[in-house]
Chain A
Amino acid sequence: MKITAAEALVRCLENEQVEVVFGYPGGAILPVYDMLYDSGMRHVLARHEQGAVHAADGYARVSGRVGVCMATSGPGATNLVTGIANAYMDSVPMVLFTGQVPTTMVGTDSFQEVDITGISMPVTKHNYLIKEARQLPQIIKNAFHIASTGRPGPVLIDIPKDVAESEIYFEYPSQVKLWGYSPTYRGHPQKINEAVSAIQQSKRPVIYAGGGILNSGALEDLRNFAEIINAPVTNTFMGLSSFSGSHPLYLGMLGLHGSRYANRAISECDLLIALGARFDDRVTGKIAEFAPHAKVIHADIDPAEIGKNVLVDIPIVGDVKRILRAFNARLEPRENKEWVETVQQWKKDYPVTYKQDDNMLKPQYVIEKIYEHTGGNATIATDVGQHQMWVAQFYSFNRPRGLVSSGGLGCMGFGLPSAMGAQIGIPGEQVALVTSEGSFQMTMQEMATIVEQNLPVKIFILNNDSLGMVRQLQEVYCNKRYMATNLKFVPDFEVFARAYGVSAFSASSNEEVDKVVPEAFNTPGPVVVNCKVHQDENVTPMVLAGKGISNAIDV
């Protein structure tokens, strides 16, 4: 029997066990929405396509499944672009469908036509424009495979309206058809042996673990590895929550706003073991001063990351989990007693702290209280800015995949929609959003979706009436010339929340925070907490542009 390609699309999603689609309808994608009507598929209607794509992203991050998102042609498609770039930078598996004008009109600048495959080429892992309806099932099969295997990433499929309406014989393909695409999972045995002997010889090893640990599900293997060789572990921002925040070997985050002890450990180690990380410039600072005394082992699924930014002594391409298992099977336990003690001493010498002030609420205090209340077991979504770095510094993650945040792109506005997607991905669990008034205003229209979907996300706005992170940059680099970073008008977020029928609290002192944090978590449904925090607070330590990470300053 023949069915339309639009119906086939829905069948394909069912075959891929998709449980929820985030999207926004329109003319060119009408045939697909018409088929969703009869299907049992859950559709979450965002209030802006950027909201839909970030929600699909948040959903994918917490669940490890492929996020699915739909939008119409033209403006619908271009509104997705920021979210696609965000998912691409952070290696999040996603499949996006966009409607397109009918094939006969493609290329004629017709109404709501935009070349979305062209636009999204540099920010997708792959993309397709379907020219013939019969290609659709195979393309969708391939897309889910590409998105979720190897180094994950977003795949976009553009479907002209007439293609969606054409009829095809439907059968879901059992196999992907891709000639040149085959990620390497197994680490090269010779390289593994080289790495093992380097580890056995090392006296001052450090493990530098990134988001690849989470993507490959290697948390337990990482813990075993660290414990076998007694090596301290530092996380990249994307790697946070891949190693227990309360483990004695843990050094927290490294890099530009990393802990002094993590950065010092990197600077003095004799062996750097990079796992599923990519030596981003926010991690390395001045490359020549990064791990200057160390031999470098770099294990990653993406061969192009190896040797891209730093020279590597032992490259291992493969799945980090398999590589760690191979290490663990071969390694003899090591003590590294002196080194571990030295690093422990540094942890005591330069703790990550902030100065309390009796007269003012410090933003870090709010995060500490959220941590205390949740025991580090909540999933925390953030926006971008100072508050994001404070979460990294003061919230100690005990739940794997517990952080939902825009790392590579640093995309303000990611917070609320991603928290919403995350809550849909882990319905029974606690999801909180830590944001600030600047970022929140970029996508706060999604409050409607949160209410409509009845998502009990607890929203903490660290309201400092300023674009704090940029204000900090202006303080440090521009001689306190605060250009366009003081927000002279900020809406009353309590009134805003009530307009959506959402419970709202506010706090402007430690005592109020002590009271309001438990209250917020104990209130059913979504909650907004407006925390009036001190404006001049800076994220510290800070490595200035062009400096090595051992030269952090206090700001």
Chain B
Amino acid sequence: MRHTLAVLVENNPGVLARVSSLFSRRGYNIDSLAVGRTDDPAVSRMTIVVEGDARVLEQVNKQLHKLVDIIKISDITADEFVDRELVLIKVNADPSIRGEVMQIADVFRARIVDLGQNTITLECTGNGGKVNAFEEAVKPYCIKELVRTGKIAMWRGAKYTGFPGSSNKTNKEDE
């Protein structure tokens, strides 16, 4: 099963290398890893998508915890969360077929970010499924270049229930 981990780390040099070397050395499969700083410049947040059964995930979680730079790990897979990925795609599109491509872009609410003589570059944001679908849709126009950011994710805010204090659930282990 695919799990999405939200990992807060101290923004120290080498922290990304520590995390990625841990995954490769212990043979865990990363689907994607996205990292950037949070509102606190000393803290970065990684969104790691990892494939594995419950036992593997438990080990991933525990081994990550052993890294001194890791502040907090939350497996948000089971919770309500929003996730986004961004893709930039450059496709062949001479003026005769530009209209078609732009129509597809419209359907996916993708934006045109650059026009070349025979190319068109599109930007699309959404969850992984939408980005995949968009990629499939433009494939026939011959993709010249494609880059995806990897997924970033966040819990949804607490649903308004009228009770104060009903808050986000965290999966942080208490042991």
* B partners with A: yes
The residue on B at minimum CB distance from A302 is: B66
For B65, give its contact among A121, A129, A303, A315 (CB under 8 Å).
Answer: A303
Q: Mark B42-78, 1 if CB is under 8 A from A, else 0.
A: 0000000000000100110011011111111000000
A304 touching B63, Cβ below 8 Å: yes
A122 touching B25, Cβ below 8 Å: yes
For B68, give its contact among A146, A184, A308, A317 (CB under 8 Å).
Answer: A146
Chain B min CB distance to A475 (Å): 33
**Interface window among B13-21, B29-37, B89-97, B115-123:** B13-21
**Interface window among A44-52, A175-183, A290-298, A404-412:** A175-183
A181 touching B21, Cβ below 8 Å: no
Q: Is B10 an interface residue (CB 8 A)?
A: yes
B70 touching A180, Cβ below 8 Å: yes
A307 / chain B contacts, CB cutoff of 8 Å: 55, 58-59
For A118, give its contact among B8, B17, B69 (CB under 8 Å).
Answer: B17
A126 / chain B contacts, CB cutoff of 8 Å: 67-69
Query: How big is the B interface, by class?
Result: 20 to 34
Q: Is A117 an interface residue (CB 8 A)?
A: yes
For B21, give its contact among A122, A308, A317 (CB under 8 Å).
Answer: A122
| Interface hits, A53-89 → B, CB 8 Å | none
Docked pose: A459 CA to B58 CA in angstroms: 46
- Which of A122, A129, A179, A306 has most chain B Cβ within 10 Å? A179
B70 / chain A contacts, CB cutoff of 8 Å: 180
Q: Mark B1-16, 1 if CB is under 8 A from A, else 0.
A: 0000000111001100
Docked pose: A317 CA to B62 CA in angstroms: 12
Docked pose: A324 CA to B145 CA in angstroms: 61
B21 / chain A contacts, CB cutoff of 8 Å: 121-122
Q: Is A131 an interface residue (CB 8 A)?
A: yes
Docked pose: A317 CA to B58 CA in angstroms: 14
A180 touching B175, Cβ below 8 Å: no
A304 touching B68, Cβ below 8 Å: no
Chain A min CB distance to B171 (Å): 14
A304 / chain B contacts, CB cutoff of 8 Å: 59, 62-63, 65-66
A180/B14 contact (C-beta < 8 A), A122-B21, A308-B59, A317-B175 known: no
Q: Mark A99-117, 1 if CB is under 8 A from B, else 0.
A: 0000000000000000001
Chain A min CB distance to B33 (Å): 17
A125 touching B68, Cβ below 8 Å: yes
A131 / chain B contacts, CB cutoff of 8 Å: 13
B14 touching A117, Cβ below 8 Å: yes
A180 touching B173, Cβ below 8 Å: no
A-B contact pairs, 25 of them (CB 8 A): A121-B14, A121-B17, A121-B18, A121-B21, A122-B25, A126-B67, A129-B13, A180-B8, A180-B69, A180-B70, A181-B68, A188-B175, A302-B66, A303-B65, A303-B173, A304-B62, A304-B63, A304-B65, A306-B62, A307-B55, A307-B58, A307-B59, A308-B59, A315-B175, A317-B175
- Which of A's residues lie within 8 Å of B, judged by CB? 117-118, 121-122, 125-126, 129, 131, 146, 178-181, 184, 188, 302-304, 306-308, 315, 317
The 3 closest A-B pairs by CB, nearest first: A304-B62, A180-B71, A126-B68
